[in-house]
Amino acid sequence: ITICWADGGSPSLAERVIWAVNAGGDSHVDVHGIHFKKDPLEGKIGKASDYGVRLPILRSSPEDQILYQTERYNEDTFGYDVPIRDDGDYILVMKYAEVYFAQSQQKVFDVRVNGHTVVKDLDIFDRVGHSTAHDEIVPFSIKKGKLSVQGEVSTFNGKLTVEFVKGYYDNPKVCALYVMKGTLEDVPKLQPHPGLEKHEDDEEEEEESEAGEEGGKKKVQPGSKYKVQSGPRTPNPYAADNSSLMFPILVAFGVFIPTLFCLCRL
């Protein structure tokens, strides 16, 4: 049998996905053709919520906002089992949006894959803010009965167990998730984060303009390009030389203090 892939010999994105679930919601086919199945945990563990359907989700296409608007959460650790038969390189993609809490440190939890902690202290609001799409992407590989993920190796028995681990702050959750064959470059990117990517572009242009004046490109400090700019730059009020203003002040003090002393003697 000859298989003709959609992309002239290579599998399409949807054909690379081996398992996909819309947590807490119904089945859905996204803009990339990925078929998310209805949540298999419905009625078995945790609670489904569609609280987010009243909110527009930033960074997500209108057609796929439902993947971030529904969710499954539980008061204890819970998870999904993904059957994987073939060796190869894989990607786990987990979709999130904080649609309830309006500040950080309200919902914080870990994610484990077959006992390996792959996401530590996930605080969705702290990462992207309220009602904003956020994807956690975890590459892993399976070869000769071994699972390799983030530098750790364990025995693999044909089942990938993805767990959302109860922490100190509220309940763990997930909005949607899928597993696909491929590498990080194959994963669709979310739309730019409002305020962050724009500032990054502005800062890169500024660095390039400064490089033209100084004859070389300045090095950007790590993390500085991700800070949201609060306003235009203002000149440093202490940068100017104020020594010329100090002389009259010193003369005034020199005259005033002896005069005050004489008055006190009288």
Using CA atoms, how far apart are residues 104 and 193, in angstroms rounded to an integer? 18
Among 36, 114, 110, 125, CA closest to 80: 114
Q: Is 164 helix (H, G, I), strand (E, B) or coil?
A: strand
Residue 40 lies inside a defined structural domain of this protein: yes
**CATH number for the domain harbouring residue 72:** 2.60.120.430
Using CA atoms, how far apart are residues 228 and 198, in angstroms rounded to an integer? 9
In tens, the pLDDT along 173-219 reads: 999 999 999 999 999 999 998 765 554 455 555 555 554 544 444 44
Residue 236 lies inside a defined structural domain of this protein: no
Reported as a pLDDT band with limits 50, 70 and 90, residue 227 is very low
Domain hosting 26: range is: 13-186
Residue 167 lies inside a defined structural domain of this protein: yes
Residue 8 lies inside a defined structural domain of this protein: no
Q: Which helix (H) or strand (E) is 257 found in, with range?
A: helix 243-265
Using CA atoms, how far apart are residues 80 and 111, in angstroms rounded to an integer? 11
Reported as a pLDDT band with limits 50, 70 and 90, residue 229 is very low
Q: What secondary structure letter does DSSP report for 231?
A: S
pLDDT of residue 256: 66
In tens, the pLDDT along 45-68 reads: 999 999 999 999 999 999 999 999
Number of domains in the chain: 1
